[in-house]
Amino acid sequence: MHELELKQLSSAGIRCSQQRLFILAYLNEHMNEHLTVDDIYQNLKGIYPALVVATVYNTMNLFKEKGIVTTIEYPGEELRYDRRMELHEHFKCEECGKIHDLPMESEKLKQTEYNGFLIKERFILLKGICPVCRKEPRRPDLSGS
């Protein structure tokens, strides 16, 4: 159990702990989601009752520093973490709020150097309306609240 996570922690130079194993296993299981610290904590606290929010924050910061996750920062919103490390863009739907991964198609954006600049990180954030919401527009709230 957790052999993959042990190998991932070891290759990133991270000391193994039970909390880190549980958090990394959860991230691996939810690879296509863009999770907040609270998402991770809420979903793991029932499985691992000794887990505290500070441990999740510290672990996610360590994972970011060691290249296990990247962050997604939409202005004015809670920081989200992405386990997918290959280059891709993010699209946030203004209707449903879901964040979608899109392939990065421009070769220029995939470069690690451009006109003498060394590129270490990319933040490409797209906003609009996803195909599902375009087909089925949100219905207005008729409850009066």
Q: What does the pLDDT read at residue 90? A: 84
**CA-CA distance, 35 to 38, in Å (whole number)?**
8
**CA-CA distance, 130 to 120, in Å (whole number)?**
29
**CA-CA distance, 71 to 57, in Å (whole number)?**
13
pTM exceeding 0.95: no
pLDDT category of residue 111 using cuts at 50, 70 and 90: confident
